[in-house]
């Protein structure tokens, strides 16, 4: 059973909050969390990210950044990262996670572009990549229960 899904990026300000909100909306019966490998805890979502998400019907105003911890890694049944490098870093830090850490873009073999401090088009590209990744993961997640 995949009851708890953790989404991870670098700072937990852009990509992972977007993915968390979209996945939580599509899988309301699951516990969806997000964290960052280098997050500074307690910060709001990136302003451009929050604006983009609001325009698409998602409210990130309550989001506060969270640093990835051992507790998160243990609690998650599935961990989805934005990049292959992030996957490797998690598996290195927490060897017990091997077999439950994958890239969000795993099915099509792509990394999610980091939009932070880039023009609006980069945020839109990341959002689109995240949606593709989620669309590819949902059937398998539902199949696993």
Domains plus CATH for the chain?
Answer: 4-144 (3.40.50.2300)
- Select which of 59, 109, 114, 120 is catalytic: 114
The Cα-based distances of 38 to 11, 99, 102, 138 in angstroms read 5, 22, 18, 27
108 assigned to active site: no
- Select which of 9, 14, 46, 103 is catalytic: 9
pLDDT value, residue 11: 97
Which has the closest alpha carbon to 5: 13, 21, 67, 14? Answer: 21
pLDDT value, residue 145: 74
47 assigned to active site: no
pLDDT value, residue 104: 98
Residue 106 CA, chain-centre distance (Å), reads: 13
pLDDT value, residue 129: 98
pLDDT per residue as tens digits for the range 46-94: 999 999 999 999 999 999 999 999 999 999 999 999 999 999 999 999 9
pLDDT category of residue 31 using cuts at 50, 70 and 90: very high
pLDDT value, residue 19: 98
pLDDT value, residue 1: 80
87 assigned to active site: no
pLDDT per residue as tens digits for the range 132-143: 999 999 999 999
- Select which of 14, 15, 46, 87 is catalytic: 15
CA-based R_g, the chain, Å: 14
Give the strands of the sheet with 101-103, arranged side by side.
Answer: 31-36, 4-9, 78-81, 101-103
pTM: 0.96
pLDDT value, residue 52: 97
């Amino acid at each position: 059973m995949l009851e708890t899904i953790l989404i991870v990026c670098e700072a937990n300000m852009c990509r992972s909050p977007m993915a968390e909100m979209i996945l939580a909306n599509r899988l309301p019966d699951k516990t969806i969390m997000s964290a960052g490998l280098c997050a500074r805890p307690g910060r709001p979502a990136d302003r451009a990210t929050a604006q983009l998400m609001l325009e698409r019907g998602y409210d990130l105003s309550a989001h506060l950044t969270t640093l990835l911890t051992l507790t998160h890694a243990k609690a998650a049944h599935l961990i989805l990262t934005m990049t292959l490098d992030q996957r490797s870093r998690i598996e290195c830090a927490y060897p017990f996670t091997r077999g439950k850490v994958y890239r969000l873009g795993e099915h099509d073999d792509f990394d999610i572009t980091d939009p932070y401090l880039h023009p609006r088009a980069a945020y839109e590209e990341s959002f689109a990549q995240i949606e593709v990744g989620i669309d590819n993961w949902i059937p398998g997640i539902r199949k696993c229960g």
